[in-house]
Amino acid sequence: MTAMPPLHRLKVHEDARGKLVAIEGPGDIPFAIGRVYYIVAGDGSSRGFHAHRTLQQVMMCVHGSCRVVLDDGRARSEYSLDRPDEALAVGPMTWREMHDFSPGAVLLVLASDRFDEDDYIRDYDVFVREATGGAA
């Protein structure tokens, strides 16, 4: 399966009763889901500040909004997640930071594998060395 673009619109089924956003695989996300979790962050707080060596993720703010910064060791990109039908793909070896959570925001994360502490890189300088092969 080909990788999804970083920012991806999910299918919305809407009628007079409201909206239903469904995520079906394969197709809506580029991997089999190994773990699902969500973050309910304090107003304006920041989270993340790490990368994963192999894990893939898809993030969506199902309530409220937040700002996500992605970094591949050479360049940074910034995304505003403020729609429950918008998903952000985060590949392996990508530093991620989540900032500016609105009050009551809920960030849902679909991950390609279960939690594995050994997959984390929590030091930015180590991440840059690994991501760029020491070229940065």
The residues that are catalytic are: 50
Enter the tokens of residue 18. Answer: 């409201």
Task: Tell me the C-alpha to C-alpha distance, in Å, between residue 109 and each of 13, 14, 56, 62, 97.
Answer: 21, 23, 10, 10, 13
CA distance 78 to 111: 20
Contact 112, 63 (CB under 8 A): no
3-state secondary structure 53-88: CCCCEEEEEEECCEEEEEECCCCEEEEEECCCCEEE
Please report, as a single letter, which amino acid is at residue 110: L
